[in-house]
Chain A
């Protein structure tokens, strides 16, 4: 074993190059190392579990869009255009799967790594900082969301469920949505102490999925309830993606996008603070 490196890049020289730079106490500027760890873990993980994230929205689409959809027929958009029921719910299912994927990654996976695997403890005894860990994990959730969105689009486009070319933008939109949920989810997970509390996450997610305009228009609600639902992130997500896939491009889309930009900024600030106080206690 030689202690004197012949190469230039030792752990110390790498760390010293970052010294004094902005945020160097919180981050080594290396979230990709955390991401890479997940790539290694994926190779040896259960592919069925990974696949389930892709299959789930497709099953919903088949059951509700085509099964139930035959009883419902076409849906009239606000401008009067008629679209098949399957085309109406497909974007909502994409938005929901982006949310579920991000929440699953940032709650269950993060919870396990935090408390049982002690993965973060190991990461933070290296020159990584808490911000590297947060960004690496969120980046991973995004990559997963991106692949799922791509897969879903690859299935539904040939079915004719994406009538507009604007629909291509549904893929980056799904990533934006995943980013929003993942950045908040990780911070929330840091408060959870046991699996029992994890059930509360599902308790919030499921009604949000059922009642956020996924399967029907919000016009069925009284005004006060409609406004409540509209302020929830999943409604914003569904409205954004539905706007793209059905080609209804208007000012409301800008609002939906801004909603998620704000959610990401707040989520990241919150999560990094939490991780710092959790790991540097």
Chain B
């Protein structure tokens, strides 16, 4: 990535958003560089979508500083949005229009015209693999097709920053992989990506750098690998002694690995070498019903930082 100029696309400092007494975003700082793929992770209600809307210049901030391409979205909304492509969490395609008309009218909203726009629409239909559906009304498309069309629509103005709010939620694995492939291609073209997601594998696949948000604050920041290194161990050993015995077994396991986490159904042993930890346990005379050694993932980091309690 060294050939990419260190141009700052988005800069937030002490960024805040409140709705009455409720603090949605509580003073966050971050920067996104040109060509970077930046992820916002966090449980529901962490403030990801609110942050996305403020960057997209469709929500005015309550405090702090925000600059997109060096401009303040409070004063240059329409101008900044000309540089952005936005894929909202829920598809908001125009249901009264056909597939190609959706792209065409969206292009017109940016003031794009004539031959250039027509060619662009054809190109995007190909990119989204929707050429055969061009005259179909969007209501009749499958979930994956709608998502691809929403993504294609967001590209009609050739954005420099492409923002996707949970792009693959609700899609089947095939559709997800097609989308990832499309996003990789955009990244190769130098488009800056800003992505929110619930899926840790998606974040590991797509993001160069990410922040983990919880309750409106940034809990951690770094590349997926660096975050795993900092907040988890290299490997995780999962052992099960049966739900009744897990607790008593965990007492004896103290000292094994770097850290233990006791869950109702299993015990997680965070360790640099999972097999070694398992050996240690067997030597202690303990015999788990099942055991599994796996690499530590972003999910472990995420759960450690944001807790395991359910957020609604």
Q: List 10 A-B contacts (CB under 8 A).
A: A18-B78, A24-B76, A33-B109, A33-B111, A37-B109, A41-B94, A117-B95, A118-B92, A127-B111, A280-B59
**Residue B90 at the chain A interface, CB threshold 8 Å:** yes
The reply to whether A15 and B137 contact each other, CB–CB distance below 8 Å, is no
What is A's interface to B at a CB cutoff of 8 Å? 1, 3, 5, 7, 9-12, 14-16, 18-19, 24-25, 27-28, 30, 33-34, 36-37, 40-41, 44-45, 117-119, 121-129, 279-281
For B97, give the chain A residue with the smallest CB separation: A40
The residue that B76 contacts in the complex, of A19, A44, A118, with Cβ under 8 A, is: A19
Q: How far is the CA of A124 from the CA of B86 in the complex (A)?
A: 10
The reply to whether A3 and B92 contact each other, CB–CB distance below 8 Å, is no
Q: How far is the CA of A36 from the CA of B159 in the complex (A)?
A: 23
Q: How far is the CA of A124 from the CA of B111 in the complex (A)?
A: 13
**Residue B88 at the chain A interface, CB threshold 8 Å:** yes
- Which A residues touch B45, using CB under 8 A? none
The reply to whether A41 and B97 contact each other, CB–CB distance below 8 Å, is yes
Q: Taking A24-B79, A125-B81, A127-B78 as contacts, is the C-beta distance between A11 and B116 under 8 angstroms? A: no
Q: How far is the CA of A129 from the CA of B80 in the complex (A)?
A: 11
Interface size bucket, B side?
Answer: 35 or more
The reply to whether B78 and A15 contact each other, CB–CB distance below 8 Å, is yes
The reply to whether A126 and B137 contact each other, CB–CB distance below 8 Å, is no
For B163, give the chain A residue with the smallest CB separation: A125
**Residue B189 at the chain A interface, CB threshold 8 Å:** yes
The reply to whether B94 and A122 contact each other, CB–CB distance below 8 Å, is yes
- Which A residues touch B308, using CB under 8 A? none
The residue that A118 contacts in the complex, of B74, B90, B191, with Cβ under 8 A, is: B90
Minimum Cβ distance to chain A for residue B138 (Å): 11
For A7, give the chain B residue with the smallest CB separation: B116
- Which B residues touch A14, using CB under 8 A? 82, 110-112
The residue that B81 contacts in the complex, of A1, A126, A281, with Cβ under 8 A, is: A126
B89-121 vs A, CB cutoff 8 Å, 1 = contact: the mask equals 010111111100100111011111100100000
The residue that B82 contacts in the complex, of A40, A44, A127, A281, with Cβ under 8 A, is: A127
A-B pairs, 9 with minimum CB distance: A15-B82, A11-B157, A118-B92, A126-B109, A11-B110, A14-B111, A41-B96, A127-B82, A125-B86
Q: How far is the CA of A163 from the CA of B112 in the complex (A)?
A: 48
The residue that B109 contacts in the complex, of A5, A7, A27, A127, with Cβ under 8 A, is: A127
Minimum Cβ distance to chain B for residue A174 (Å): 26
The reply to whether A122 and B106 contact each other, CB–CB distance below 8 Å, is yes
Q: Taking A27-B78, A30-B111 as contacts, is the C-beta distance between A125 and B98 under 8 angstroms? A: no
The residue that A36 contacts in the complex, of B90, B96, B105, B155, with Cβ under 8 A, is: B105
- Which A residues touch B189, using CB under 8 A? 1, 3
- Which A residues touch B106, using CB under 8 A? 122, 126
Q: How far is the CA of A1 from the CA of B108 in the complex (A)?
A: 19
Minimum Cβ distance to chain B for residue A11 (Å): 4
The reply to whether B60 and A280 contact each other, CB–CB distance below 8 Å, is yes
The reply to whether A16 and B79 contact each other, CB–CB distance below 8 Å, is yes
Kindly list 6 other residue pairs between chains A and B, CB separation below 8 angstroms, not including A9-B112, A127-B79: A3-B191, A14-B82, A33-B109, A41-B94, A117-B92, A125-B81
The reply to whether B92 and A128 contact each other, CB–CB distance below 8 Å, is no
The reply to whether B109 and A30 contact each other, CB–CB distance below 8 Å, is yes
- Which A residues touch B81, using CB under 8 A? 15, 125-127
The reply to whether A281 and B59 contact each other, CB–CB distance below 8 Å, is yes
- Which A residues touch B155, using CB under 8 A? 1
Minimum Cβ distance to chain B for residue A5 (Å): 7
The reply to whether B82 and A1 contact each other, CB–CB distance below 8 Å, is no
Q: Taking A3-B158, A16-B79, A128-B78 as contacts, is the C-beta distance between A28 and B111 under 8 angstroms? A: yes
- Which A residues touch B123, using CB under 8 A? 1
- Which A residues touch B104, using CB under 8 A? 40
**Residue B298 at the chain A interface, CB threshold 8 Å:** no
The residue that B79 contacts in the complex, of A18, A118, A125, with Cβ under 8 A, is: A18
Q: How far is the CA of A152 from the CA of B41 in the complex (A)?
A: 59
